[in-house]
Chain A
Amino acid sequence: MTYIKPAFRHPKAPVNDLGWTRQDYEGGLSTLCAGCGHDSISAAIVDACFQLNIEPHRVAKLSGIGCSSKTPAYFLSGSHSFNSVHGRMPSVATGANLANRDLIYIGVSGDGDTASIGLGQFAHGARRNLNMTYIVENNGCYGLTKGQDSATMDTGSVNKKGDRNLSTPMDVARLAIEVGATFVGRSFSGDKEQLVPLIKAALSHRGFALLDVISPCVTFNNHQGSSKSYEHFRSVKEVMPLDFVPVREEITASYASGTTCEVRMHDGSMVRLHKQDSDHDIEDRQSALQAIAHYESQGKVLTGLLYIDRDSEELHDQLGTARRPLNTLTEQELCPGSKFLDSINAGLR
């Protein structure tokens, strides 16, 4: 019985600028089904954090309930982690973020956790522009409870039992753009070439970054007739490739002219992407929504960075909070003395 990943690694495994190997970003052993897309997303998060030279102890992982929400145990075992109540991850993330704005927040949720029980929390997190990366591992079904259709299941898609879904699907990417998220992308667990740079860009974004990642459920939703199977999603996805260029690196990749666009991120890094459509302005909400609808009308799903607002004010900016994490504030700063109290009182008279 193997089950447990051996500690040996490739003798030439690279180290990042911190001197750490990819192994230092791995987590515990996954108990998800073999072939689950969620494991690939975990691996993509590991790759992204390794490549961005993020120290694991500077990351807080948050999740709700569901197969997706188990996965924070399977990556970044050196990070802070909170597995919250079903659909309530955004509240916990908000509280944590307000208390310590210096950490990097990665929320992992599923289609049930986000689009059903947690819809309200999700929408308000996006609306407030909470500074976090929110990944929806979207498989269109409730895998943990034997595969019932979820709110993101496409109309007409057939479940494992053979029943056709008649309800209208919730599109979390579209919803996020509508309610005010400032970074919205869509990707596929089986396409790390796109997913890893997209996660890197999301982590570098200041504000609410939503990634809707189609992640097939091999056990309950990977059959003929399912719209979220590996095979079907591969056949309908329209890929907008992208590169994430860190602050210090030169840009080398080149795409066909006219459809390439460069987005300078808040921290000085750069996202270069190749658009399918020259009319699609990724910095314009309406244009992004139109591009999504345009491909949907053709039976396609547009993937890549769909929308970004680079210069938004995140929740701390809006609230004018302290610039430092609360746990670093000293008694002197928290209790500045009677002189300050007097001046405040004077201001209220």
Chain B
Amino acid sequence: MKPTNIKDPEYFHKVVDCQYACPAHTPVPEYIRLIAAERYGEAYMVNWESNVFPGVLGRTCDRPCEPACRRGRVDEEPVAICRLKRVAADNKGDVSAAMPVAPDIKKQGRVALIGAGPASLTVARDLAPLGYEIDLFDDQPLAGGFMRSQIPVFRLPPEVLDEEVGFVLDLGIKQHFRHYVDSLGAVLEKDYDAIFVGTGAPRGSDLSIPGREEADKHIHIGIDWLASVAFEHLSKVGRRVLVLGGGNTAMDCCRTARRLGGEDVKVVVRSERAKMKASPWEIDDAIAEDIPIINNHVPKEFVHENGKLTGVRFTVVDVVYDDGGNRKLVPTGEEVFFEADDVIIAIGQDNAFPWIERDIGLEFGKWDMPVIDPVTFQSTNPRVFFGGDAAFGPENIITAVAHGHQAAISMDRFIRGEDVHDRPAPGVTLVSQKMGVHEWSYDSAVSLEDRFPVPHVDKTLALKDRKVEVELGFDRAVAYREAERCLNCDVQTVFITDKCIECDGCVDICPTECINFLPNDEEAALRTKLRMAADELDQDLYVSDALAQTGRVMVKDENVCLHCGLCAERCPTGAWDMQRFLYQVTKAGQPCSQSKR
């Protein structure tokens, strides 16, 4: 193998599994250390810079970081990254002084943002401080998009959302709420320099089976139903409720139903438990509220008496995999009838762009989705950019934020007349953490504690009032202990080949046996020859140049390195050093010259 190029920011970025997995690449270990140091405000700002909605995400994020967390590979459970983020938000104090300020004179250009969800708000956050004049349009009375209409208040209190939406709107954004944009063509005719479409995926999928039309009065589309509850158009539901679907929307629907008078609430899912789209913790929370999840039941018909819904009939299926690994739901012949007063359909959502004309130079492709460049987020009409669920279909908040950052870079460059495909390089620092013989400027000792559960409010209290937040969040003491579970994967093991005397001190001390010295070979061969075979192929091997004394190379399997720093402590010559790696995604307004390395 060739020696690893650690000057490539992406190499060490990939070692920070949580940050790498995060669509917005939030520097997770960096803010977790700040939480451990009780520097909550700074921890909040590290988050805010990267993901704009730390308080919201600390409660609702899909947390792709946690399955990626290295700790999950050596311990039973990963670090509770998401809930630590909430600790930063809960304890941040007054951060107004750290917030950017938009210049009074806006001379960069005029920008329209359509939809006031996380993607648009991120674009606004990035462009307003640069001096853009920004018009924000939404048909709802308040900003927040799906964060407000879809996430129940018992998971996300409105004050939290209002504050973080406010941080953005306070940057001098011109707000046009209760304003439905019914023609993109008309917006294009106004002299905006660039337009961003962040209108989400607003159409809930329906279920066309017999009885659907007749029983319509008591059959609801999940996302519309949640929005009606959120905006208090609706405050009651029948005693017996069936929720159809296995995603997170279904979980929100069933838990909301429990709070609106639903006593017998069931979730019925076509597929088996393992294939459900809902996050495991959301399923757990639903089950904890006495909601059974019934799998392998395919809805067959809505049963009604003279238009009054009485229940739903299901076909029970077996899940069968053929030789090609394709899944098939094979009816067992059994049918089941569940009584219901209301049915909520939460089986997916689609994009819909009835307000975008098809003759304005904006091309639509597969599934009637606009054709969008996945890097620049530019549509085929160069003035129009997309992001969030509107770009590539339903995802989640953190993905929408990541899109917003990238779209803002493109819009800024487009308006300045620069090439949108020339992307700014990330900001990277790599600094030694050595303070003394056994002293590092990070807590290198590895905590052996198990993951701490987040305390919940008493169930009867929670079910009585829709507005009572269920999760209480970690207190500071528990947050510290949870933060100490972080392995500091951003403190990198940097190997300096020239200094190594091949004493094997690092090999002997490494608790997870990830360091090796052996003759060089092809990667596939090396992976099998290490002390512990490196069979996690998506985890890289760190390979040095040939060593002076034996001509061997150092090969480190990054997979389960604990970043404990013992290799560096046991190294007599400082050939190993622990260096803190900070990777920051560059935001709009930075020049691209750095990218030409």
Fill in one digit per residue for A153-195: 1 if any B CB lies within 8 Å of its CB, else 0.
0000000000000000000000000000000000001101000
Q: Kindly specify which of B54-62, B136-144, B184-192, B558-566 makes contact with the partner chain.
A: B558-566
Fill in one digit per residue for A190-205: 1 if any B CB lies within 8 Å of its CB, else 0.
1010000000000000
**Given A8-B511, A13-B532, do A189 and B438 touch, yes or no (CB 8 Å)?**
no
Q: Does B170 contact A (CB under 8 A)?
A: no
For chain A residues 253-280, which have a beta carbon within 8 Å of chain B? Answer: none
Q: Kindly specify which of A36-44, A97-105, A316-324 makes contact with the partner chain.
A: A36-44
Distance in angstroms from B503 CB to nearest chain A CB is 4
**Given A7-B448, A234-B550, do A190 and B560 touch, yes or no (CB 8 Å)?**
no
Residues of B within 8 A of A192 (CB): 504
**Given A8-B446, A230-B501, do A1 and B438 touch, yes or no (CB 8 Å)?**
yes
Distance in angstroms from A301 CB to nearest chain B CB is 15
Q: Is the CB of B448 within 8 A of A6?
A: yes
| A-B interface contact total, Cβ < 8 Å | 108
Of A33, A40, A222, the contact of B508 (CB 8 Å cutoff) = A40
In the complex, the chain B residue whose C-beta lies closest to that of A231 is: B549
Q: Is the CB of B74 within 8 A of A4?
A: no
Of A9, A39, A231, the contact of B501 (CB 8 Å cutoff) = A231
Q: How far is the CA of A1 from the CA of B438 in the complex (A)?
A: 5
Q: Is the CB of A8 within 8 A of B74?
A: yes
Q: Does B254 contact A (CB under 8 A)?
A: no
Of A34, A216, A231, the contact of B571 (CB 8 Å cutoff) = A34
Q: How far is the CA of A34 from the CA of B504 in the complex (A)?
A: 10
Distance in angstroms from A48 CB to nearest chain B CB is 14
Residues of B in contact, count (CB < 8 Å):
38
Residues of B within 8 A of A8 (CB): 74-75, 446, 448, 511-512, 560, 562
Q: How far is the CA of A149 from the CA of B45 in the complex (A)?
A: 60
Distance in angstroms from B405 CB to nearest chain A CB is 35
Residues of B within 8 A of A218 (CB): 501, 503, 572
Q: How far is the CA of A60 from the CA of B548 in the complex (A)?
A: 39
Q: Does A5 contact B (CB under 8 A)?
A: yes
For chain B residues 35-77, which have a beta carbon within 8 Å of chain A? Answer: 73-75
Q: How far is the CA of A114 from the CA of B337 in the complex (A)?
A: 87
Fill in one digit per residue for B530-570: 1 if any A CB lies within 8 Å of its CB, else 0.
00110100000000000011100000000010101110011
Residues of B within 8 A of A5 (CB): 509, 511, 564, 566
**Given A6-B445, A230-B501, do A35 and B513 touch, yes or no (CB 8 Å)?**
no
Q: Does A2 contact B (CB under 8 A)?
A: yes
Q: How far is the CA of A77 from the CA of B440 in the complex (A)?
A: 28
Q: How far is the CA of A12 from the CA of B566 in the complex (A)?
A: 20
Residues of A within 8 A of B514 (CB): 10
Residues of B within 8 A of A216 (CB): 503
Q: Is the CB of B566 within 8 A of A40?
A: no
Q: Is the CB of B445 within 8 A of A11?
A: no
Q: How far is the CA of A13 from the CA of B75 in the complex (A)?
A: 14
Q: Is the CB of B508 within 8 A of A39?
A: yes
Residues of B within 8 A of A340 (CB): none
Q: Is the CB of B446 within 8 A of A1?
A: no
Residues of B within 8 A of A34 (CB): 505, 569-572
Q: Does B594 contact A (CB under 8 A)?
A: no
Residues of A in contact, count (CB < 8 Å):
31
Q: Does B199 contact A (CB under 8 A)?
A: no
Residues of B within 8 A of A13 (CB): 513, 532
Q: Is the CB of B564 within 8 A of A2?
A: yes
**Given A2-B564, A231-B549, do A190 and B504 touch, yes or no (CB 8 Å)?**
yes
Interface of B is mostly: loop
Q: Does B573 contact A (CB under 8 A)?
A: yes
Q: Is the CB of A190 within 8 A of B503?
A: yes
Residues of A within 8 A of B444 (CB): 1-2
Q: Does B439 contact A (CB under 8 A)?
A: yes
Q: How far is the CA of A8 from the CA of B485 in the complex (A)?
A: 12
Q: Is the CB of A2 within 8 A of B440?
A: yes
Q: How far is the CA of A216 from the CA of B504 in the complex (A)?
A: 12
For chain A residues 17-44, which have a beta carbon within 8 Å of chain B? Answer: 33-37, 39-40, 42-43
Of A2, A9, A230, the contact of B566 (CB 8 Å cutoff) = A2
Distance in angstroms from B529 CB to nearest chain A CB is 12
Q: Is the CB of A1 within 8 A of B572?
A: no
Fill in one digit per residue for A274-294: 1 if any B CB lies within 8 Å of its CB, else 0.
000000000000000000000
Residues of A within 8 A of B573 (CB): 35
Q: How far is the CA of A2 from the CA of B560 in the complex (A)?
A: 17
Q: How far is the CA of A39 from the CA of B448 in the complex (A)?
A: 25
Distance in angstroms from B40 CB to nearest chain A CB is 25
Q: How far is the CA of A10 from the CA of B560 in the complex (A)?
A: 7
Residues of A within 8 A of B572 (CB): 33-35, 218
Of B74, B507, B569, the contact of A3 (CB 8 Å cutoff) = B569
Q: Is the CB of B508 within 8 A of A10?
A: no
Residues of A within 8 A of B566 (CB): 2, 5
In the complex, the chain A residue whose C-beta lies closest to that of B512 is: A10
**Given A6-B564, A11-B560, A230-B549, do A43 and B508 touch, yes or no (CB 8 Å)?**
yes
Q: Does B469 contact A (CB under 8 A)?
A: no
Distance in angstroms from A150 CB to nearest chain B CB is 20
Of A4, A11, A37, A42, the contact of B503 (CB 8 Å cutoff) = A37
For chain A residues 23-80, which have a beta carbon within 8 Å of chain B? Answer: 33-37, 39-40, 42-43
Residues of A within 8 A of B263 (CB): none
Residues of B within 8 A of A11 (CB): 73-74, 560
In the complex, the chain B residue whose C-beta lies closest to that of A232 is: B549
Distance in angstroms from B391 CB to nearest chain A CB is 38
Q: How far is the CA of A13 from the CA of B514 in the complex (A)?
A: 11
Residues of A within 8 A of B74 (CB): 8-11
For chain A residues 208-254, which have a beta carbon within 8 Å of chain B? Answer: 216, 218, 222, 230-231, 234
Q: Is the CB of B570 within 8 A of A6?
A: no
Q: How far is the CA of A37 from the CA of B572 in the complex (A)?
A: 11
For chain B residues 415-457, which have a beta carbon within 8 Å of chain A? Answer: 438-440, 444-446, 448
Q: How far is the CA of A5 from the CA of B444 in the complex (A)?
A: 11
Of A4, A6, A7, A230, the contact of B502 (CB 8 Å cutoff) = A230
Q: Is the CB of B564 within 8 A of A40?
A: no
Q: Is the CB of A230 within 8 A of B503?
A: yes
Q: Is the CB of A35 within 8 A of B508?
A: no
Q: How far is the CA of A1 from the CA of B446 in the complex (A)?
A: 10
Q: How far is the CA of A35 from the CA of B74 in the complex (A)?
A: 27
Q: Is the CB of A35 within 8 A of B505?
A: yes
Distance in angstroms from A232 CB to nearest chain B CB is 10
Residues of B within 8 A of A190 (CB): 502-504
Q: How far is the CA of A157 from the CA of B232 in the complex (A)?
A: 89
Q: How far is the CA of A103 from the CA of B549 in the complex (A)?
A: 40
Q: Is the CB of B440 within 8 A of A1?
A: yes
Residues of B within 8 A of A234 (CB): 502, 549-550
Residues of A within 8 A of B508 (CB): 39-40, 42-43
Residues of A within 8 A of B532 (CB): 10, 12-13
Of B445, B512, B513, the contact of A1 (CB 8 Å cutoff) = B445
Q: Is the CB of B445 within 8 A of A10?
A: no
Which residues of A does B touch, CB under 8 Å?
1-13, 33-37, 39-40, 42-43, 189-190, 192, 216, 218, 222, 230-231, 234
Can you list 29 contacts pairing A with B, beta carbon distance less than 8 Å? A1-B438, A2-B440, A2-B444, A2-B564, A4-B445, A5-B509, A6-B445, A7-B446, A8-B74, A8-B448, A9-B512, A10-B560, A11-B73, A11-B74, A12-B535, A34-B505, A34-B569, A34-B571, A36-B505, A39-B509, A40-B503, A190-B502, A190-B503, A218-B501, A230-B501, A230-B549, A231-B501, A231-B548, A231-B549
Known contacts A7-B511, A10-B560, then 16 further A-B pairs from the complex at CB < 8 Å, ordered by chain A residue:
A1-B439, A2-B564, A2-B569, A6-B445, A8-B448, A10-B514, A10-B532, A12-B533, A33-B572, A35-B573, A36-B505, A39-B570, A43-B507, A43-B508, A189-B503, A234-B502
Q: Lowest 7 A-B CB distances belong to which pairs? A: A35-B572, A6-B446, A43-B508, A2-B444, A35-B503, A8-B74, A218-B572
